[in-house]
Chain A
Amino acid sequence: MQTLMEKLQILADSAKYDVSCSSSGSHRKNTGNIGNAHTAGICHSWSADGRCISLLKVLFSNKCVYNCEYCVNRRSNDFPRASFEPDELARLTIEFYRRNYIEGLFLSSAVEVSPDRTAERILESLRLLRYKYGFSGYIHAKIIPGVSQELLHEIGLVADRLSVNIEMPTARSLQTFAPQKKPKEIFAPMRQITNSLIERNSLKGPGNMFRGIAVNAPEHYLKGFSQGIEEKDKAGGSRADSDTQDSITAVSSARPLSRNRRRQGEDFAPAGQTTQMIIGAGGETDQSILNTSESLYRTFKMKRVYYSAYVPVVDSPMLPTRKTAPPLAREHRIYQADWLLRFYGFSVKELFTEKSQNLDPDLDPKVTWALRNLDQFPVEVNRASYDTLMRIPGIGAVSARRIVRQRRLSAVKFDDLKKMGVVLKRAKYFLTCSGRYYGEKRFEPEVIRNAILQMENGLQMSLFDDQWNRLEEGPRQEKLSAAGLL
């Protein structure tokens, strides 16, 4: 018999490759015995890898019948196995929560016996936590693909956030690496969650873009949906023909269950849904990864897509070897691009060209975009619209708002920009202040590019080529000297 200590260690080890740990987006009040949810979320600690610990992130069980290539819990991996008892887990959560260690619980699980069996166990633990212990803190529940609609609905009523992992950015790589997971089984629960949220008038959508008018209107109910992610790639994010394509999936089943719940005031996943995919396991380009995210945002209006740099945890002939370092720089650039989609009004199409289907390893995607579109710059900060300000590298939502606020009273001077939080080392090449330009003498992409690289100190730069392969010392030196950094 394993002790609680052993189980916690094993099941934390199994859960840690899941990225999401946010506790934001819920407004749950303390109606029970203990706990509430802080809208902005609270991180309570940071582990040695610098990732925040907000929720107690564990698997309910890591005894898996699936055998996904990339996963540490795959059936064929020699790894210690354990399962919690529902009451044991609920009590542990409460005790950690009382000590202010955590904001709540993140509960996922390996597929033990079948998806439904697993979901039942998860539901049992969450109900204990909510009703027996009166816990009103944050709960993030992972939905296993292939789960029945009724169970998903019941879990949604006790959880704050739901997530179904898409795992791989294309249907082809999903087929290769996780043959037991079917795209259809992944999209069905996603669709059901979105529909339930629309039904309850509580779909908020990702960031502040993609919002459109009245996303909660009945015409946004998702009906049929193309079966694979690949079709979406071809469609380039547009969803025009998907409804006709997929009349096979039962339209009626897409309706949310039991409408009367709403009247009882029961929240269904108030913090919405998220998903995550692995970066650098299959051979996808950044463009196809972000295309998938964009269509997930457009279609399901999910709060976030998480990206997880693949850490080689198992030996598989199809995957990078155990010695490969996780592609952290690439993950970082993809996150930057994801923010551009959700908060800055960019589309994936703008971020890539025919030639470059990957993000620039050396510069952030906003600078890269600006350098390709220099004809739209420099922008006069005292006149440009808020949306245009947001497109200037080095200006974000806070500084753009401050500029707009101040200039109603008095003109914004160059010296003010720094105090407003503008990152001048990037921004100064792309703006004018009362007609004056403060950047380099020559307004050309290469000149500005090199100037910014020198400012940002080329040390981290140029470790990668444009296919995200690690560069040898020789080519790296060449690249550095071409940028005038040597």
Chain B
Amino acid sequence: MQDYLYDGTFEGFLTCVYHHYYTEQAAGICLKEEYQPSLLGGFQEVHTDLEKADRVYQAIRRKISYMDLRRIYKCFLSTVPDKEMILLRYIVLGFHIGSGISKLHGNPDVFAAQEIEKKINVEAERMRQFVRFSVMQGDILYARIEPDHDVLELIGDHFSDRFRNDPFLIHDVCRGKAMAGYQGKWYITSFAENDVPEESEEEKEYQTLWQKYFDHIAIKERKNSNCQRNFMPLRYRKHLTECQMR
């Protein structure tokens, strides 16, 4: 038993799974940069090998199911601590049981993965809700987000279909990357603060209109801040136009 260190990519993780089966069982799978060696057991750095990764990828798809492959990938996008080992146990159990694994709701390993997947789905939904574009010069839509989990790629199809004729940028501020989309296509690229375009002239006016609308649509006699906070947690409000000071 030893710890595997990998580079943080999904392929790197799958290579670790390969080694878990063909080299030596994994005691832990950790990020190279964050690893602190333990006293017991050794560790080994795993070099991402696309061929090995692909074999694991295809095996999951064939022997477990396509749905579970998606679930594993989604969970991998999360920032939950020790997600790698949760997923490894899920994969091991999946090779044992087959496509029925997602039905075992009571199993602790399945439950753990199911909970992470739920978090990711909720986060992606929140991004569809709370992305707020500003119209920049040259009619580019620009939005800043700070999601807890790395869900940027999960919202690409949604926005690129919706804003087919508007070039848009969704900037994940904490991960220093952005999604750029236009004409129904999108890609993700690294993005820095000084790449941000200038705001257009009428932008402020529409922001004020929206804020006024937001204030007026509330029924004062029904004020319910708890309910509002449940749906719109405070940590998302930083980038919400309607929640800015005015």
> Measuring CB to CB, which residues of chain A are less than 8 angstroms from any residue of chain B?
4-5, 8-9, 12-13, 15-17, 29-30, 33-36, 38, 42-53, 56-57, 92, 95-96, 98-101, 309, 311, 325-326, 328, 402, 405-406, 408-410, 412-413, 415-416, 419-420
Q: In the complex, are the beta carbons of B209 and A92 less than 8 A apart?
A: yes
Partner of B227, one of A45, A46, A99: A46
Question: Once bound together, how far apart are the Cα atoms of A34 and B111, in whole Å?
Answer: 40
Chain B residues with Cβ under 8 A from A52's Cβ? 231
Question: Once bound together, how far apart are the Cα atoms of A29 and B184, in whole Å?
Answer: 13
Question: Once bound together, how far apart are the Cα atoms of A56 and B214, in whole Å?
Answer: 10
Q: In the complex, are the beta carbons of A50 and B224 less than 8 A apart?
A: yes
Q: In the complex, are the beta carbons of B133 and A99 less than 8 A apart?
A: yes
* Residues of chain B from 147 to 196 with CB closer than 8 A to chain A in the complex: 158, 161-166
Question: Once bound together, how far apart are the Cα atoms of A34 and B129, in whole Å?
Answer: 17
Nearest opposing residue in chain A for B127, CB measure: A100
Nearest opposing residue in chain A for B143, CB measure: A100
Query: B133, B134, B143, B162: which has the most chain A beta carbons within 10 Å?
Result: B162
- Is B92 an interface residue, CB under 8 A from the partner? no
Chain B residues with Cβ under 8 A from A9's Cβ? 212-213, 216
Chain B residues with Cβ under 8 A from A419's Cβ? 105-106, 111
Q: In the complex, are the beta carbons of A402 and B105 less than 8 A apart?
A: yes
Identify 12 new A-B residue pairs, CB closer than 8 A, beyond the known A12-B217, A35-B162, A98-B133: A5-B212, A9-B213, A45-B214, A47-B218, A50-B224, A96-B210, A98-B135, A99-B135, A101-B241, A405-B103, A409-B100, A419-B111
Q: In the complex, are the beta carbons of A328 and B222 less than 8 A apart?
A: yes
Q: Using an 8 Å CB-CB cutoff, how does the interface string of B211-240 with A read, 1 for contact, 0 for none? A: 011111111111111111011100000001
CB distance from B178 to the nearest CB of A (A): 16
Partner of A30, one of B125, B164, B225: B164
Q: Using an 8 Å CB-CB cutoff, how does the interface string of B33-64 with A read, 1 for contact, 0 for none? A: 00000000000000000000000000000000
Chain A residues with Cβ under 8 A from B227's Cβ? 46, 49-50
- Is B132 an interface residue, CB under 8 A from the partner? yes
Q: In the complex, are the beta carbons of A311 and B103 less than 8 A apart?
A: no
Question: Once bound together, how far apart are the Cα atoms of A311 and B162, in whole Å?
Answer: 37
Q: In the complex, are the beta carbons of A49 and B210 less than 8 A apart?
A: no
CB distance from A238 to the nearest CB of B (A): 36
- Is B130 an interface residue, CB under 8 A from the partner? yes
Chain B residues with Cβ under 8 A from A53's Cβ? 214, 217
The verdict on A5 contacting B217 (CB below 8 Å), with A30-B161, A406-B103, A416-B105 known, is no
- Is B1 an interface residue, CB under 8 A from the partner? no
Nearest opposing residue in chain B for A52, CB measure: B231
Q: In the complex, are the beta carbons of A5 and B224 less than 8 A apart?
A: no
CB distance from A135 to the nearest CB of B (A): 11
Chain A residues with Cβ under 8 A from B241's Cβ? 99, 101
Nearest opposing residue in chain B for A419, CB measure: B111
- Is B66 an interface residue, CB under 8 A from the partner? no
Question: Once bound together, how far apart are the Cα atoms of A56 and B224, in whole Å?
Answer: 21
Question: Once bound together, how far apart are the Cα atoms of A57 and B219, in whole Å?
Answer: 13
Residue pairs across A and B with Cβ atoms less than 8 A apart, 28 shown, are A5-B209, A8-B212, A8-B213, A8-B216, A9-B216, A33-B165, A34-B164, A36-B162, A38-B158, A42-B129, A46-B227, A46-B228, A47-B217, A48-B225, A49-B223, A50-B224, A50-B226, A50-B228, A51-B218, A98-B133, A99-B134, A100-B132, A328-B222, A409-B100, A412-B106, A416-B105, A416-B106, A420-B105
Q: In the complex, are the beta carbons of A8 and B106 less than 8 A apart?
A: no
